[in-house]
Amino acid sequence: MPQPEEVVFPSRRERLEDRRKEGEHRKLLDEFFDHPALLAVSRLISRGMFDSIDFPIATGKEGGVFRATKGNEFRAVKIYRISNTTFRHLPAYVLDDLRREASVRNFGGLVFAWTRREHTILGRLVEAGVHAPRPFGHYRNVLVMQFLGTEEGAAPRLKEAQIDDPQLLYTELVQEIRRMVGTAKLVHGDLSPYNTLFWEGHPWLIDVAQAVPRDHPQARALLKRDITNFAKYLERLGADVDPEEFFKAVGGEAVGPPTPET
């Protein structure tokens, strides 16, 4: 049983752990909340997008996602880093498309365009009935969207979620991707269990900024890759999945540049 002085005065190990956490927190703040980012956050707060930022949900080389509070609900705030690391993993055609859309070359302008692009694509998906976070607004490199989760924490990535019925998950993924392809007329292009969340029993599509129109020259190959990756994952869970049937079920045969008339 701990002695009274041990309760009042933390042990050396506990003090070191507290300092480590404080150091990590300070480093995280320095990485994401530089002066321009703080100005962008302030602008979005003044627009009523959220009241305060609570804590990080996920961080990576391209950016971070933070939980924010808006009245009695939560929202997700995504902050992209303004550097070339944001685009290092992207295929050349995606970056070329973005440069043409944004008419800029510097990384700051591209990141702002990338943020705007994700906001737009999320809106198209939600309008099409796809389970995707609803976008609320954006400014510069900061995007505000629906928070998926509860007061206890954010929804897990599909890769980390407990899946009780893999066959039902397969059916729901077919439905979500078919709506994305058929109604929103988009192909995700980087879909996997790592950028799909599992919340309230459904898969939710995230990280959609690299999505391309379904008539894009690369769309068919990208969809096939997405489907193949997900089929392998579902098979490991125990679902009965045929990649070719999966591809057809989501409307894959209609994806790709129009066939020239003869």
Q: What is the DSSP string of 69-104?
A: EETTEEEEEEEE-SSGGGTTTS-HHHHHHHHHHHT-
pLDDT band at 262 (very low <50, low <70, confident <90, very high): very low
Q: Is the pLDDT of residue 20 over 70?
A: no
Phi (first) and psi of residue 149, to 5 degrees: 150, -165
Confidence (pTM): 0.85
The domain made up of 153-254 is a member of CATH 3.40.1180.10: no
pLDDT on residue 11? 63
pLDDT on residue 155? 97
CB 53: neighbour CB atoms within 10 A?
17
The domain locations on the chain are 153-254
**Which residues are tagged catalytic?**
190, 207
The amino acid occupying position 248 is K
Distance CA 176, CA 112 (A): 28
Q: In 3-state terms, what secondary structure has residue 142? A: strand
CA distances from 62 to 37, 65, 179, 246 (A): 14, 10, 28, 31
pLDDT band at 89 (very low <50, low <70, confident <90, very high): confident
What mean pLDDT value characterizes the chain? 87
CA end-to-end distance (rounded Å), the chain: 86
Q: Please give the DSSP secondary-structure letter assigned to residue 258.
A: P
pLDDT on residue 248? 97
